[in-house]
Structure 1
Amino acid sequence: MNRRSFLLWAGASSAVAMGSAAEFWRWQEITTDVNYPGMAEGHFLRDRHKLPPPTEIIQTDVVVLGSGIGGLTAAWKMNKEGLNDFLVIDGPQVYGNAAGGHFGDLAYPTGAHYLPVPSTESFHVREILTDLGIILRNPMSEKPYYDERYLLHAPEERLLFNGRWQEGVIPNEGVPPDELKEHSRFFKEIERLRHLRDSNGKRIFAIPSTLSSTDPEWQALDSITFKAWLEKNGYSSPTLHWYLNYCCRDDYGTRYDKVSAWAGLHYYCSRSGKAENAESGAWLTWPGGLSPLAEAMDKAAGSRRKSGTAVSLKTTADGVEAHCFELINGIPKTFIVRARKAICAMPLYVASRVVESIQDYGFDPALHLPTYAPWLVANFLMNDFPHELPDAPLSWDNVVYQEPGLGYVVSTHQDIRITPPPKTVFSAYVALSDQSPDAARKWMARVTAKELLAAASADLKAAYGWKFASCVERVDITLRGHAMAVPLPTFRSNPGLKALRELDGPILFAHADLSGFSVFEEAAWWGYRAAGLALKQT
């Protein structure tokens, strides 16, 4: 090494060392809040703590237990159709997986952050969006007209691959030609399956999933994993496998070598929504994710909500009775709700502990309970935009070619501005798919705030390096130990889920878990169905 080279190397090494030290100390100074929504209530319920006598008895026609999308849809539909005597009991967190938060005026998601433009089969979602003024005209046509404020605008997404940003999240730049041919072959097959119909004229993959084909030929896809299906059909491209694994982690919270092949294909083939004023496959989004949509549904339903969580639900001679509690500074306060009907809009791992004698309905928790994936969402309040690598501009969704992170979303992306805002929020998502769900939950229970911050910021550090820390003002981290049901092989033939889906009695079920996976359209479908059954027998 000559003298000049040595001096350049030494200078660079010193800069890196100084940068690393600055980064370390800056990360130590960042205020980090960690939230475990529903954990206190969930553990109280799990451990069966003794409850004080009820202080109130409430009488209503229909009680809705849970304020996630299933419960909100049921409430919205009943109110719209004239059934106004109902009460929604919030559950452990208002709006569930559609919840959000704020840094002052800046909204951010703590759960789901987008909704694909609904297909014609998802008429229930179109009805909701029309009622809320998001679809402006032709709601049931092939191409409705949407309020453009909520249609995701460009640049939509990018991928950090081989040290450079590229447009889109499917690796393409620097990918060998034989791999690109596989990419093309896969998406041609997806397009074929998207339009294919079975012997009864039904689409093979529809959303809501209950409208999909039940022909044995297609049901057989539920007996193997998505990775096994890819290998069976000759797909070996590492970049294609990475992308499809990323999509399964993003939509289902777990890897493609665990997810049912039926579910893996459904992700692509079911969503065929179009819009008059957007390209096919467009997305709807808000700075706060789906929280503003949930708030609008709540308002349209009359905001008939009460804080509390059900600890038991049973049938009576006159209908149903729900015993509920609310933790106030760790102290439980209880009340009773009596009604003609109950819509159980809570996850099944909770319902299995709340609904008395749930086995009598054909659901055995020991046999039929889904596996649940944990989830981490970290919202970084940014006092400046970090310096960008070249080749593709900052987008709404920014993905890094690695695991377990799922990239980050920019909350202010939808704001129409001439210049960037002074502050923004980067929402980083991490599916803890690099470990088993049980191991991930145990890790959540013992992890420190600094360790969480390190896991949440991995993709951001890959994108921006050590200087990213200087742009961060504070971080809000949300941990969901049972964020979503995972569609493992054979989930389509789960007899317990089938039994709950078909119930028509004093207790009705309305949650995405009935479908076996957690997305807005599925949760809304079961809420819509439950409301219809409650209305029918009024």
Structure 2
Amino acid sequence: MFSRRQFLQASAALGLSSVLPACRELSHFGIPIMVYLPGMEAGHRLRDHTPIAQPSSTRKVRVAILGSGAAGLFAAWRLRKSGRFQNPDDLLVVTGPERFGNAAAGSMQGVGYPRGAHYLPLPSLASRHVRELLFEMGVIEDNPYGEKPSYNEQVLVHSPEDRLWINGQWQDGVVPHTGMPAADQAQHQQFFAHTQQLQHATGHDGRKAFCIPIALSSRDPAWLALDQISFATWLKQHGYTAPSLLWYLDYACRDDYGIGLQETSAWAGLHYFASRGGEANNAATGAVLTWPTGLNPLLLHLQQGIKTIDGIAVHMAEHDSEVHIDVVQQGQTTRLIAEQVICAMPLHVAAKITDLRQYGFDPSQHQAPHAAWQISNFLLKRFPDEPVHTPLAWDNVVYGSHSLGFVNSTHQLIRVAKPAATVLSCYHAYAEESPSAVRVRLEHASAEALYEVAIADLATVYGWDNPLKARHYIEQVEITLRGHAMASPTPGFLSNSGIAALQSQQGRVQFAHSDLSGLSVFEEASWWGEQAALKLLQR
């Protein structure tokens, strides 16, 4: 019988450990693997100041939006809805190296799956902009701005929603309770009662202490003081010591922020549990919205009717009453001459195409850390056997794992019987080491190392570290590496003066990205797209 190590060594010998972007077939076991590195080559060209061709043509537009992620496309959607940008040259989105960014999706043999973000919590009243979009899409069917809207049943996550592999068996829900001591369970209840109270807490300014979007949260110094310590420190101060609770909270921070308890701001850690509170007329508290391809359908809707150019912005400069943006597309450089610009790129990329110091942001002082992620999609020929009482859920998590479990991409497809094939999307945040060190290592990582991370949770649950067993289920694998997947809210992130300067810009160039919030979720990215569009409409 082959061991997992022997399997990986065999794959390396067959050439999979050579150049990362290649797709090689494991002819001995029949499992092809593609490693996908969105934006890496383009980003490194900007970083290394690689010379580009001089512009061979010019194009005038009223508004150029740089970036086609949630922020950029939400801004474009809002501008289009205003009715003031109807001509073809009024509004143009430069997609960047990866259309849709962290909400991108893929497909293997007709089965779709996410390459990044895969769910949206029910938006609370404060996220009115998200509710407006969902109502237009038909996801919200009634009462869009009320306490409890009615949602399309096809999009509300179906039961079973989630489960946890613990002590060699599955339990319902991801908060550990199977075999937990009574004292641990008491701490769980105490913590969740505490955060439930925080959902209703307010500051002296009358605002909620924890709100999403973050910009609407209280600025009361008493609450902001939580941003000066780590979540781990706050938990210790309040007597939360149960290993099962600490593991779960660490998992939550890694899942949303890409960092653990020790690195997460206490304010951000509590915000995770106290900020949303969205409810539905036809779903339980805490339900989420999801699609087989993750959040990709939201961005597909946002881009409808929007003119785009598949290119990469490599230089931006203001000149009197206009802004010049050089865009590289298939080796040719075009200069866009825009009246106004919304820069919806990650800030570490925006800093490479213009001098952000002129806008009050000094990358050497104000750039937030970004976590590295790996999303591994496994196309299965057949479903694994599951216990009758705890069948395959949408989200499946392994207790004690350094990874984040796996999501079943076909879970939302309502059928009498299971589909013939599915994709399991395995998520891993590289939270245990320096993000910069991880990025250097991933750039040159072997397929052996990447596959070992990818298969970890599936190996624990199904024994797929046995390659002969794995090949009966796994038909194809795609591994997506995101070196700068998301900004991480470390202590002090709320008092970043450079971020505040970009948030308050009033000129021809507006900034819009989840980086302006310091954490990467759809509600935040779309909020900043909305704000940039509204400022532009007021000019």
Would you say same fold, with TM above 0.5?
Answer: yes
1:87-135: CA deviation from partner (whole Å, max 9, x where unpaired): 0000111000010011132110001000011000000111111122211
Q: What's 2:48 paired with? A: 47
**Partner-residue secondary structure (3-state), 2:303:** helix
Q: What's 2:438 paired with? A: 440
1:18 & 1:36 partners in 2: Cα distance? 30
- Any gaps of 5 or more consecutive residues in structure 2? 12-25
1:19 & 1:375 partners in 2: Cα distance? 26
**Selected match of 1:310 from 298, 301, 313:** 313
**Partner-residue secondary structure (3-state), 2:461:** helix
- 1:338 aligned onto 2:343: no
CA contact (8 A) 1:271 1:281 kept: no
2:387 & 2:252 partners in 1: Cα distance? 24
- 1:83 aligned onto 2:84: yes
- 1:64 aligned onto 2:69: no
Q: What's 1:265 paired with? A: 270
Equivalent AA in structure 2 for residue 399 of structure 1: V
**Selected match of 2:322 from 319, 324, 331:** 319
1:510-529: CA deviation from partner (whole Å, max 9, x where unpaired): 00000011100000000001
- 1:181 aligned onto 2:186: yes
CA contact (8 A) 1:164 1:390 kept: no
**CA 1:31–1:528 in 2, change beyond 3 Å: closer, same or farther?**
same
**Selected match of 1:472 from 471, 474, 479:** 474
Q: What's 2:505 paired with? A: 503
Q: Which structure 2 residues correspond to residues 20-169 of structure 1 after superposition, within 5 A?
A: 28-84=29-85, 85-169=90-174
Q: Which structure 2 residues correspond to residues 139-538 of structure 1 after superposition, within 5 A?
A: 139-299=144-304, 302-326=305-329, 328=330, 332-355=331-354, 357-389=355-387, 391-465=389-463, 466=466, 467-537=469-539
Cα displacement (A) at 1:450:
2.8
1:112 & 1:21 partners in 2: Cα distance? 31
1:19 & 1:47 partners in 2: Cα distance? 42
Q: What's 1:13 paired with? A: none
| Greater share of helix | 1
CA contact (8 A) 1:407 1:428 kept: yes
**Percentage identity across paired residues of the two chains:** 46
1:396 & 1:358 partners in 2: Cα distance? 42
Q: Bigger CA drift: 177-186 or 19-28?
A: 19-28
2:145 & 2:388 partners in 1: Cα distance? 42
**Partner-residue secondary structure (3-state), 2:199:** helix
1:39 & 1:18 partners in 2: Cα distance? 35
Equivalent AA in structure 2 for residue 103 of structure 1: M
**CA 1:149–1:391 in 2, change beyond 3 Å: closer, same or farther?**
closer
Cα displacement (A) at 1:451:
2.1
1:20 & 1:347 partners in 2: Cα distance? 38
CA contact (8 A) 1:388 1:464 kept: no
1:475 & 1:303 partners in 2: Cα distance? 33
- Any gaps of 5 or more consecutive residues in structure 1? 1-16
**Partner-residue secondary structure (3-state), 2:484:** strand
Equivalent AA in structure 1 for residue 320 of structure 2: A
CA contact (8 A) 2:30 2:471 kept: no
Q: What's 1:4 paired with? A: none
1:248 & 1:242 partners in 2: Cα distance? 10
2:181 & 2:240 partners in 1: Cα distance? 14
2:257 & 2:176 partners in 1: Cα distance? 21
1:274-297: CA deviation from partner (whole Å, max 9, x where unpaired): 111111221010000011211111
1:190-231: CA deviation from partner (whole Å, max 9, x where unpaired): 000001122222111000001001111100000011111100
Equivalent AA in structure 2 for residue 480 of structure 1: R
1:18 & 1:265 partners in 2: Cα distance? 45
1:283-334: CA deviation from partner (whole Å, max 9, x where unpaired): 01000001121111111xx1311011111111111221111113x3xxx321
CA contact (8 A) 1:145 1:277 kept: yes
1:359 & 1:312 partners in 2: Cα distance? 15
1:223 & 1:391 partners in 2: Cα distance? 45
1:225-278: CA deviation from partner (whole Å, max 9, x where unpaired): 111110010000000000000000000011111010000010110011011111
Cα displacement (A) at 1:136:
1.5
1:255 & 1:82 partners in 2: Cα distance? 45
Q: Bigger CA drift: 31-40 or 398-407?
A: 398-407
CA contact (8 A) 1:386 1:468 kept: no
Cα displacement (A) at 1:489:
0.3
**CA 1:307–1:192 in 2, change beyond 3 Å: closer, same or farther?**
same
1:323-380: CA deviation from partner (whole Å, max 9, x where unpaired): 1113x3xxx321111111100000000111112x321211111000010100000110
Q: Bigger CA drift: 387-396 or 129-138?
A: 387-396
**Partner-residue secondary structure (3-state), 1:405:** coil
CA contact (8 A) 2:164 2:176 kept: yes
CA contact (8 A) 1:375 1:480 kept: yes
Q: TM-score if structure 1 supplies the norm length?
A: 0.93
**Partner-residue secondary structure (3-state), 1:477:** strand
2:156 & 2:389 partners in 1: Cα distance? 25
2:454 & 2:365 partners in 1: Cα distance? 34
2:322 & 2:303 partners in 1: Cα distance? 25
* Number of residue pairs the alignment of both structures matches: 514
CA contact (8 A) 1:89 1:307 kept: yes
CA contact (8 A) 1:164 1:389 kept: no
**CA 1:379–1:129 in 2, change beyond 3 Å: closer, same or farther?**
same
Equivalent AA in structure 2 for residue 155 of structure 1: P
2:327 & 2:215 partners in 1: Cα distance? 32
Equivalent AA in structure 1 for residue 101 of structure 2: G
Equivalent AA in structure 2 for residue 100 of structure 1: A
CA contact (8 A) 1:403 1:434 kept: no
**Partner-residue secondary structure (3-state), 1:61:** strand
CA contact (8 A) 1:144 1:274 kept: yes
Q: Bigger CA drift: 21-30 or 54-63?
A: 21-30
2:271 & 2:403 partners in 1: Cα distance? 23
CA contact (8 A) 2:165 2:171 kept: yes
Cα displacement (A) at 1:469:
3.7
1:177 & 1:21 partners in 2: Cα distance? 40
Cα displacement (A) at 1:419:
1.0
**CA 1:19–1:439 in 2, change beyond 3 Å: closer, same or farther?**
closer
2:470 & 2:2 partners in 1: Cα distance? 14
2:202 & 2:158 partners in 1: Cα distance? 32
